[in-house]
Chains A and B, each alone.
Chain A
Amino acid sequence: MNISLNITKTITELLSGFMSEGAANIGAMVTIALIYLAIFAVAGLYLVLLERKIAAWFQLRLGPNRVGPWGLLQTMADALKLVSKELTGTVKADKFLFNLAPYFVIVSSLMALSVFPFTQEFQAFDINIGIFFLIAISSIGVIGILLGGWASNNKFALIGAMRSGVQTISYELSVGLSLLTMVLLTGTLQLSEIVEVQKNGWLIIQGHIPAVIAFMIYMIAGTAETNRAPFDMVEAESELGAGFHTEYSGMKFAYFFLAEFINMFIIAAIATTVFFGGWLSPFGITESIPWLGVFWFIGKTFMLVFLMMWFRWTFPRLRIDQLLTLEWKYLLPLNLLNIILMAVIVWLNLTIQF
């Protein structure tokens, strides 16, 4: 197998055969964006299916099994149905913002995907502030949620959006700090280099105690960041109808829905890259075949996605004050202590290296 995995370079070279350099660059960007969009729209749909199946198994049910073999086409059919549906809105809605909100959410989550190294060199956009970029992008999504809730002129939507604001702003802090803890260990923000560093052992092993604590905090805060149960104050079906997207229908609703699942994938993918060695195989067993890295990356990510689904179908929802207590009284102080612990460990060279 000698396929070049550096897709950006390959496509640019291909295009520059018959274009000027500037046009080739832009052409390559557009092509890659379209490829990613297609792949992740479908992947998002299958994540929804996976969630429904796993939820069913947790509850001793069967899950969707009517459309296609084992229900594999169920979410495709759902998406088709949503596309064909009427886009409704409230009378006094702020039309411009109302229509803008879903795009904010979906675009910000798709943008974050561009920086992940799926395997060696298979990365659309390798910037040297990777982690920083991810944290920044992942908090733009909340603007979409706030806009949607505000513009739809509905009390439930507004309350849901405000809760989302409170929640994301609080937990953003924990996500950032727990990733910073790991950056202390790697000494770089660039995702491809973070993976390089882990050739001497995955960071969760290199950093042992503080790394495990950071991972736990990251998973809790990450789950909160995606607004999933047990932190789904934003949608709280029993209190708020459907929360911020109560007034959305058809494809615009589908964007919110898809974004939630892509965000879950992103949170799991960040954890994979930062804690579990990204595309590196355990003990380097498939080091000679670079394209297998994709398999390892996806495999680890899905393990973590499964963990988040496990959370969702086990824990009851928190009240808003419990939610804030958890963040400000427990996660944040622990996180700060953890950073100091990690700094001491790095300083005294107590990391475990293979």
Chain B
Amino acid sequence: MSYFGDIYKGIKTLLTGMSVTGKYFLTSRKGAITQQYPDNRKTLKMFERFRGEVVMPHDENNEHRCTGCQKCELACPNGSIEIIWDRQIDPESGKKKKMIDQHIYHLGMCTMCGLCIEACPTDAIVWAQNFENSVYDRSYLTKVLNQPNSKLKAGVEE
């Protein structure tokens, strides 16, 4: 009797599938997932997990969290990050210490793999959600992530 059993099972599974899509059809008016970009450019909010580009957040005192440890540079599989650093006298403690000069990020080479962000021990770099990255010249894609005259936030190194 498995012949008719098969037919019964076949019809049942087909109807299950149709009821699922049917439900989607009926609720499609409310929940269309289409983003009508660029009409909604003003209100469009990208998802938190979207990987647009790597940025280094600065607080209101122009302080960042990057210690210049170069772990991100080592982690990057295609050399998109270059850290330029030197040893300077730390004004507070008066000792010589490794300090970041420029955190250079080549957006044009980045594959958005996220390894640098995972490698960073102080969470100095994060993902930004912007995606309108097109420019007319390749050189604009090379960015310096730390702002000029910014310095390391106190207490990050401890």
Contact = CB atoms under 8 A, between A and B. Distances in A.
B32 interface: yes
Interface in A242-283: none
A54 B26 CA distance: 11
B7 A58 contact: no
Identify the interface centre among A57, A58, A311, A315: most chain B CB within 10 Å of its CB: A57
Interface residues of B, number: 16
B17 interface: yes
Interface string B35-78: 01000000000000000000000000000000000000000000
Contact of B31 (A54, A56, A60, A311): A60
A60 B28 contact: yes
A330 B36 CA distance: 46
B79 interface: no
A315 B36 CA distance: 28
A190 B32 CA distance: 46
Nearest to B20: A314
A314 B33 CA distance: 19
B34 A315 contact: no
B11 to A, nearest CB: 8
B24 interface: yes
A56 B34 CA distance: 10
Contacts, number: 39
Given A62-B34, A315-B14, A315-B17, A57 B28 contact: yes
B130 interface: no
Nearest to B17: A314
Nearest to B6: A330
Contacts of A310: 18, 21-22, 25
Given A310-B22, A330-B7, A60 B32 contact: yes
A313 interface: yes
B24 A60 contact: yes
Contacts of A314: 14, 17-18, 20-21
A61 interface: yes
Interface string A49-82: 0000010111111100000000000000000000
A58 B36 contact: no
A185 to B, nearest CB: 23
A313 B22 CA distance: 10
Contacts of A54: 25
Interface in A14-58: 54, 56-58
Contacts of A58: 21, 24-25, 28
Given A310-B22, A313-B21, A314-B21, A61 B14 contact: no
Contacts of A60: 24, 28, 31-34
Interface in A167-181: none
Interface in A299-335: 310-311, 313-315, 330, 334
A11 B28 CA distance: 46
Given A315-B14, A330-B7, A62 B32 contact: yes
26 contacts: A54-B25, A56-B28, A57-B28, A57-B29, A58-B21, A58-B25, A59-B24, A60-B24, A60-B28, A60-B33, A60-B34, A61-B28, A61-B33, A61-B34, A62-B32, A62-B34, A62-B36, A310-B18, A310-B22, A313-B21, A314-B14, A314-B17, A314-B18, A314-B21, A315-B14, A334-B7
The 7 closest A-B pairs by CB, nearest first: A57-B28, A314-B21, A62-B34, A314-B17, A61-B34, A60-B33, A62-B32
Given A62-B32, A330-B7, 6 more contacts: A58-B24, A60-B28, A60-B34, A61-B34, A62-B36, A314-B18
